[in-house]
């Protein structure tokens, strides 16, 4: 069988702003919901599986994104740390949703006898979208981790006392 070796473009200079921004986030997390950086550390090793969900990936080719993540980790941490990364995955928020990287959700569980109106639920929902990786235009509240969905449920109930919200996990399909 023939062997084909393709070298990725070594010049990441045109993506220097993304690299620098990701380095800043790795060194000191910002206030907003993006980028969402998920590290799954497996022992012994350690071996790391890294996912960065960030809308700044929109204009970056998919094959370049992992390189940017690795370079940013090397600059923010060290080469040895970056070498522990087994996979580096990078997706926009919309891509993350479609890839199943945001499997947990929170949805209103309004009851027929609920004294709280639909508009009040919508208002609380709209406020919470601003805290999600999907942003203020999101049509659903989605999270990468169960604990984040549960924290959202607590915030929503606190924002709208007496309201009812449910945490769910997206069912995996045979194709996923």
Q: In this structure, are 44 and 117 located in the same domain?
A: no
The predicted model gives 121-125 an average pLDDT of 96
Query: According to the model, what pLDDT value does residue 161 have?
Result: 95
Same domain, 32 and 88: yes
Q: Tell me: the pLDDT tens digits for 52-83?
A: 999 999 999 999 999 999 999 999 999 999 99
DSSP letter assigned to residue 14: G
| Pair (87, 119) in one structural domain | no
pTM: 0.87
Supply the DSSP string of 23-65, one letter for each residue.
HHHHHS--SSS-SEEEEEEETTTTEEEEEEE-GGGTTS-TTTH
Peptide bond into 44 cis (omega under 30): yes
Check: CB of residue 9 under 8 Å from CB of residue 64: yes
Instruction: Tell me how many domains the chain contains.
Output: 2
Shared domain for 70 and 21, answered yes or no, is: yes
Percent of the chain with pLDDT over 70: 93
Q: Is the pLDDT of residue 7 over 70?
A: no
Alpha helices in 77-117 (DSSP H): 79-82, 93-99
74 and 38 housed in the same domain: yes
Confidence of residue 30 (pLDDT cuts 50, 70, 90): confident
In a domain, 7, yes or no: no
User: Any idea which of 4-18, 88-102, 135-149 has the lowest mean pLDDT?
Assistant: 4-18
In the predicted structure, residue 5 carries a pLDDT above the cut 70? no
Where does the pLDDT of residue 31 fall: very low under 50, low under 70, confident under 90, or very high at 90 and above? confident
* pLDDT tens by residue, 149-174: 999 999 999 999 999 999 999 977 65
């Amino acid at each position: 069988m023939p062997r084909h070796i393709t070298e990725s473009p070594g010049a990441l200079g045109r993506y220097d702003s993304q690299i620098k921004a990701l380095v800043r986030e790795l060194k000191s997390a910002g206030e907003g919901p993006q980028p969402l950086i998920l590290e799954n550390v497996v022992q012994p090793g350690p071996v790391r599986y890294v996912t960065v969900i960030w809308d700044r990936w929109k204009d970056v080719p998919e094959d370049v994104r992992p390189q940017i993540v690795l370079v940013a980790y090397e600059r923010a941490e060290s080469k040895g740390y970056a070498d522990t990364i087994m996979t580096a995955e990078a997706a926009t928020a919309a891509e993350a949703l479609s890839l199943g990287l945001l499997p947990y959700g929170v949805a209103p569980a309004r009851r027929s006898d609920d004294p709280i109106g639909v508009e009040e639920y919508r208002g609380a929902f709209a406020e919470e979208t601003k805290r999600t990786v999907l942003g203020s235009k999101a049509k659903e509240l989605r999270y990468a981790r169960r604990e984040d969905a549960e924290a959202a449920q607590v915030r929503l109930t606190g924002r709208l006392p007496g309201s009812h919200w449910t945490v769910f996990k997206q069912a995996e399909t045979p194709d996923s």
